[in-house]
């Protein structure tokens, strides 16, 4: 941004410090004071969350956050004033304000130093933003020299630890900008600003420097560890609703299916091959030519009977995603209506040459109009999920004045990073208002803090089809998850696969190796979805049954479906307990520093350690198993002690996969789609060596009745010393719930069968919802 300085006014804390004691005012949530020509307010939102709000003295700024939805709680806190500083303490943390300089620091209740601003580090620089006198704003902090931090959304830098970085946090295809980080000291910091922001960490400071901001506004939260910090971030910005059960199966996509007949035929082929499938995705241009871009209607030549297409997909027991974009070509009625009401942003978005413009997602009236077209043209047909592409949005033919564009909330520059939050929020809120029978599921290419409350599953964008990119997806996904957003996925095989076309496309052995390794990784992500350009990715494109490329895909798609009860229970943990699917080793093993910067492995839920193969031709891989536990090789049943690095052979059909001792894993039936069979004859796998606990969650699979209490929980407890499994009383009920069922208990060992199937049942019993214990 070219800044037009209306005054060279930089407010730096520390100028002309008075020797006299400073005064402050107690508020209902903390304190406020005026120092160094600046208003400083520190407010406790909960015992764990503190807001720090600073603005130039005399400013009338009253900010309404787009990301934060929590309101301050009524709570008790202590205030101690020594004349130079004032300390506000809750039952969890203490915030200290230097009344002379305005510096704020945080300690734990045990006196441990957690986090501090840098002296003289809050800076407001007066600028002119599209004719509006305002500021560029910066806040700097001091971190411990060896402190490790995570987060910042999704960055494609291949790093798990985000120290030593200088990053422009600005929404882009493949990059998600979230000005949030969390530390191994157990705290997190959310910088609540929506303009492009430079994050810097070096030996001198750690800082957020935003192009536009009337105030310096951030939230400090203490969670004690990674999972706790994520829980606090969700408390602050919103909880994640349940995704439908079918979304945890397998979804097939392509750029693009050119007719409705081609799309339905793909589902038919999967059914004929007995390959499980739950989702099919219709990408762009179903509306016809680019001059009709995003018309939210079907071209009568290639999609002559869209209702028949939707009905056919449903009759085949599958579900349909439809793509929608935030931009419209001039020929569309949407463009014309938005233009007539001054609700278009006047810059070019995808596709090039079509003069497509995005609508003003910040305007609630514009979001209403967007949904009205989407509902009448597509949702009324009974489609199941949305693919909201280009949610950054794409910005082509960039001009400096594009960022001066007025939006409903100010210049585009001032709110740019919140575009995906506003856009997805509009679709989610409108669909929720229209129907509670079908859960919202939004596949989206970008995200911002708080977007988890809108049922979004963000994919990593149009990444390249190559091994270095596959490697980077693991830390990208983990940092995204550590930023508070639990649902992430990526195009299996990478999006741009043109380098492999000459060698035979899907029959190219090099692409087959990359694709199958990527699929193994995708099996252990919240959404398993095949997609890409250049090369069609349907399983039958790679060969036929009995051929390696086909058989490996079939194996891992089937594994995904056997994990459905485990994944659905993990989804409930996400919704009900602010949990996460993809977790770095640090999240579960905070006392084992050897795993803190491990960017090649992760926990999937609480039971599985996954170490994807991310190098071409790799026949073995070194794997670190965290200390404090024993580990079962999923494929062999071999038990390995933690706290060491081992070498695991990695033939093409194997991804290194370990299960933590003490895990209880429900194993679903072999199915062709998620609801084909009831879970009335369920295998329960126990991995001995430690005590275990697991809650099996069930509900109606695709409605919001769970919000009204229509769900059940069955808790399993394993006592490793006595070898007794206790199944507690079932809690809750819902329509269609199993009154009686059979549990088949498997005590996993090297001798007792291994892998996906071939497990030997140790004991079976009927369960009718009443507590019982079984000795094994």
Identify the three-state secondary structure at position 586: helix
Cα 698 to the center of its chain, rounded Å: 23
Buried b (16+ CB within 10 A) or exposed e, 232-246: bbbbbbbebbbbbbb
Please pick, among 389, 394, 513, 601, the residue that the annotation labels catalytic: 389
Is 389 a known active-site residue? Answer: yes
Rounded to an integer, what distance in angstroms lies between the CA atom of residue 420 and that of residue 392? Answer: 6
**pLDDT score, position 757:** 86
| Same-domain check for residues 226 and 125 | yes
**pLDDT score, position 31:** 97
Quick check: is 87 in a domain?
A: yes
Q: Structural domain tally of the chain?
A: 3
Quick check: is 490 in a domain?
A: no
Identify the three-state secondary structure at position 559: helix
Q: Which of 459, 478, 502 is the endpoint of a domain? A: 459
Quick check: is 210 in a domain?
A: yes
Chain segment 414-445, per-residue pLDDT in tens: 999 999 999 999 999 999 999 999 999 999 99
Percent of the chain having pLDDT more than 70? Answer: 97
Rounded to an integer, what distance in angstroms lies between the CA atom of residue 427 and that of residue 371? Answer: 6
Q: Which of 425, 459, 493 is the endpoint of a domain? A: 459
* Phi (first) and psi of residue 519, to 5 degrees: -65, -40
Buried b (16+ CB within 10 A) or exposed e, 468-505: ebbbbbbbbbbbbbbbbbbbbbbbbbbbbbebbeeeeb
| Same-domain check for residues 230 and 262 | no
**DSSP structure class, residue 48:** S
| Same-domain check for residues 371 and 299 | yes
Q: Shortest CA distance to 486 belongs to which of 458, 445, 463?
A: 458
* Phi (first) and psi of residue 698, to 5 degrees: -145, 150
**What is the rounded average pLDDT of the residues 629-634?**
97
CATH number at residue 681: 2.60.40.1180
Residue 758, pLDDT > 80, answer: no
Please pick, among 107, 290, 392, 592, the residue that the annotation labels catalytic: 392
Report the DSSP beta bridge partners of residue 122: 139
| Same-domain check for residues 213 and 358 | no
Q: Taking the CB of residue 214, how many other CB atoms lie within 10 A of it?
A: 22
Q: What is the mean pLDDT of the chain?
A: 95
Chain segment 538-582, per-residue pLDDT in tens: 999 999 999 999 999 999 999 999 999 999 999 999 999 999 999
Residue 84, pLDDT > 80, answer: yes
| Same-domain check for residues 197 and 329 | no
Confidence of residue 79 (pLDDT cuts 50, 70, 90): very high
* C-alpha to C-alpha distances, 91 to 51, 77, 78, 570, nearest whole angstrom: 16, 7, 9, 30
**pLDDT score, position 21:** 52
CATH number at residue 352: 3.20.20.80
Chain segment 327-378, per-residue pLDDT in tens: 999 999 999 999 999 999 999 999 999 999 999 999 999 999 999 999 999 9
**pLDDT score, position 19:** 36
* Phi (first) and psi of residue 563, to 5 degrees: -85, 0
What the block records as the tokens of 159 is 């790093």
**What is the rounded average pLDDT of the residues 202-221?**
97
Report the DSSP beta bridge partners of residue 470: none
Rounded to an integer, what distance in angstroms lies between the CA atom of residue 154 and that of residue 310? Answer: 34
CATH number at residue 122: 2.60.40.1760
**pLDDT score, position 12:** 37
Are 499 and 212 contacting, i.e. CB atoms less than 8 angstroms apart? Answer: no
**pLDDT score, position 7:** 35
Question: DSSP labels for 637-691?
Answer: --EEESSEEEEEE--TT---EEEETT-EEEEPPP-SSTTSS-SSEEEEEE--SS-
Rounded to an integer, what distance in angstroms lies between the CA atom of residue 201 and that of residue 18? Answer: 31
Report the DSSP beta bridge partners of residue 142: 116
Rounded to an integer, what distance in angstroms lies between the CA atom of residue 573 and that of residue 567? Answer: 10
Quick check: is 161 in a domain?
A: no
Rounded to an integer, what distance in angstroms lies between the CA atom of residue 765 and that of residue 335? Answer: 62
**pLDDT score, position 205:** 98
Percent of the chain having pLDDT more than 90? Answer: 94
* Phi (first) and psi of residue 208, to 5 degrees: -115, 130
Please pick, among 205, 462, 597, 690, the residue that the annotation labels catalytic: 462
**What is the rounded average pLDDT of the residues 630-636?**
97
Q: Which residues contact 591 (CB under 8 A, 6 or more apart)?
A: 627, 628
Residue 601, pLDDT > 70, answer: yes
Quick check: is 296 in a domain?
A: yes
| Same-domain check for residues 204 and 321 | no
| Same-domain check for residues 201 and 77 | yes
Chain segment 450-481, per-residue pLDDT in tens: 999 999 999 999 999 999 999 999 999 999 99
**pLDDT score, position 22:** 72
Q: From its phi and psi, is residue 145 left (phi > 0), alpha (psi between -120 and 50) or beta?
A: alpha
Number of H helices, E strands in the chain: 12, 46
Residue labelled with tokens 């997806």: 473
Rounded to an integer, what distance in angstroms lies between the CA atom of residue 372 and that of residue 550? Answer: 43
Residue 115, pLDDT > 70, answer: yes
| Same-domain check for residues 134 and 259 | no
Quick check: is 140 in a domain?
A: yes
End-to-end CA distance of the chain: 68
| Same-domain check for residues 276 and 200 | no
Rounded to an integer, what distance in angstroms lies between the CA atom of residue 458 and that of residue 465? Answer: 18
Cα 76 to the center of its chain, rounded Å: 34
Residue 585, pLDDT > 70, answer: yes
**pLDDT score, position 202:** 98
Question: Which has more confidence, 60 or 645?
Answer: 645
**What is the rounded average pLDDT of the residues 102-122?**
96
Cα 633 to the center of its chain, rounded Å: 28
Identify the three-state secondary structure at position 489: strand
Q: SS3 string of 320-331?
A: EEEEECCEECCC
Chain segment 6-44, per-residue pLDDT in tens: 333 333 333 333 334 579 999 999 999 999 899 999 999
Q: Which residues contact 305 (CB under 8 A, 6 or more apart)?
A: 260
Quick check: is 624 in a domain?
A: no
| Same-domain check for residues 214 and 348 | no
| Same-domain check for residues 259 and 376 | yes
Alpha helices in 210-282 (DSSP H): 226-237, 260-273
What the block records as the tokens of 433 is 């208002």
Rounded to an integer, what distance in angstroms lies between the CA atom of residue 576 and that of residue 647? Answer: 38
Rounded to an integer, what distance in angstroms lies between the CA atom of residue 277 and that of residue 281? Answer: 12
Most confident of 57-66, 482-491, 747-756: 482-491
| Same-domain check for residues 330 and 233 | no
What the block records as the tokens of 733 is 């009920």
Cα 362 to the center of its chain, rounded Å: 22
Angle between helices 419-434 and 364-377 (to 10 degrees): 50
**pLDDT score, position 62:** 83
Q: Which of 411, 442, 459 is the endpoint of a domain? A: 459
Quick check: is 581 in a domain?
A: no
Confidence of residue 210 (pLDDT cuts 50, 70, 90): very high
Report the DSSP beta bridge partners of residue 78: 89
Quote the domain boundaries for residue 280.
Answer: 246-459
């Amino acid at each position: 941004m070219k800044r037009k300085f209306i005054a060279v006014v930089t407010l730096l804390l520390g100028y002309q410090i008075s020797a006299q004691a400073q005064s402050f005012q107690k508020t209902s949530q903390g304190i406020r004071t005026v120092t160094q020509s600046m208003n400083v307010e520190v407010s406790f939102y909960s015992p764990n969350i503190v807001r720090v709000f600073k603005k130039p003295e005399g400013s009338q700024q009253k900010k309404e956050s787009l990301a934060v939805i929590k309101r301050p709680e009524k709570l008790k806190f202590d205030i101690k004033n020594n004349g130079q500083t004032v300390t506000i303490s809750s039952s969890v943390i203490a915030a200290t304000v230097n009344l002379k300089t305005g510096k704020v620091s945080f300690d734990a209740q045990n006196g441990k130093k957690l986090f501090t601003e840098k002296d003289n580090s809050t800076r407001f620089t007066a600028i002119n933003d599209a004719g509006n006198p305002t500021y560029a704003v910066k806040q700097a902090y001091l971190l411990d020299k060896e402190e490790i931090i995570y987060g910042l959304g999704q960055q494609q830098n291949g790093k798990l630890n985000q120290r030593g970085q200088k990053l422009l946090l600005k929404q882009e295809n493949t990059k998600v900008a979230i000005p949030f980080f969390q530390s191994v000291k157990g705290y997190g910091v959310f910088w609540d600003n929506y303009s492009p922001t430079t994050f810097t960490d070096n030996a001198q400071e750690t800082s957020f420097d935003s192009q536009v901001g009337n105030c310096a506004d951030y939230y400090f939260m203490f969670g004690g560890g990674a999972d706790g910090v994520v829980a606090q971030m969700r408390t602050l910005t919103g909880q994640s609703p349940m995704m439908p059960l079918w979304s945890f199966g397998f979804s097939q996509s392509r750029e693009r299916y050119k007719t409705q007949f081609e799309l339905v035929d793909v589902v038919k082929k999967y059914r004929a091959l007995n390959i499980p499938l739950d989702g099919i995705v219709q990408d762009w241009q179903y509306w016809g030519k680019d001059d009709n871009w995003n018309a939210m209607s079907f071209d009568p030549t290639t999609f002559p009977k869209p209702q028949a297409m939707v009905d056919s997909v449903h009759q085949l027991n599958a579900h349909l995603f439809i793509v929608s974009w935030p931009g419209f070509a001039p020929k569309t009625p949407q463009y014309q209506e938005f233009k007539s009401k001054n609700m278009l942003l006047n810059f070019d978005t995808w596709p090039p040459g079509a003069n497509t413009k995005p609508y003003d997602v910040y305007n609630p009236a514009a979001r209403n109009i967007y949904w009205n077209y989407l509902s009448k043209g597509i949702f009324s047909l009974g489609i199941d999920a949305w693919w909201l592409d280009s949610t950054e949005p794409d910005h082509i033919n960039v001009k400096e004045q594009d960022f001066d564009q007025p939006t409903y909330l100010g210049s585009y520059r001032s709110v740019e990073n919140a575009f995906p939050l506003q856009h997805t929020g509009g679709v989610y809120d409108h669909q929720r208002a229209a129907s509670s029978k079908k859960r919202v599921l939004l596949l989206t290419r970008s995200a911002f803090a708080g977007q988890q409350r809108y049922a979004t599953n963000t994919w990593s964008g149009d990444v390249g089809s190559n091994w270095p990119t596959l490697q980077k997806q693991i830390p990208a996904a983990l940092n995204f998850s550590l930023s508070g957003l639990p649902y992430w996925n990526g195009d299996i095989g990478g999006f741009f696969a043109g380098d492999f076309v000459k060698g035979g496309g899907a029959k190219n052995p090099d692409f087959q190796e990359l694709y199958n390794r990527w699929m193994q990784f995708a099996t252990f992500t919240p959404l398993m979805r095949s997609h890409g350009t250049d090369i069609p990715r349907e399983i039958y494109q790679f060969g036929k049954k009995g051929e390696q490329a086909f058989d490996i895909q079939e194996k891992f798609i089937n594994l995904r479906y056997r994990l459905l009860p485990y994944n659905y229970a993990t989804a409930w943990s996400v919704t009900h307990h602010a949990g996460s699917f993809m977790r770095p080793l640090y999240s579960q093993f905070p006392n084992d520093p050897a795993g803190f910067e491990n960017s090649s492995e992760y926990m999937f839920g609480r039971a599985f350690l996954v170490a994807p193969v991310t190098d071409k031709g790799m026949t073995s891989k070194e794997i670190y198993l965290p200390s404090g536990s024993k580990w079962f090789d999923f494929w062999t049943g071999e038990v390995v002690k933690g706290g060491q690095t081992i070498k695991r052979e990695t033939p093409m059909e194997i991804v290194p996969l370990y299960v933590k001792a003490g895990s209880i894993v429900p194993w679903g039936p072999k199915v062709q789609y998620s609801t084909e069979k009831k879970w009335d004859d369920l295998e329960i796998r126990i991995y001995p060596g430690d005590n275990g606990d697991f809650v099996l969650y069930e509900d109606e699979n695709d409605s919001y009745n769970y919000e009204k209490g229509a769900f059940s929980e069955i808790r399993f407890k394993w006592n490793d010393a006595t070898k007794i499994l206790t199944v507690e009383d079932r809690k809750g009920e819902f329509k269609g719930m199993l009154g009686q069922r059979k549990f088949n208990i498997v005590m996993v060992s090297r001798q007792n069968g291994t892998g996906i199937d071939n497990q030997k049942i140790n004991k079976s019993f009927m369960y009718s919802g009443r507590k019982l214990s079984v000795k094994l």
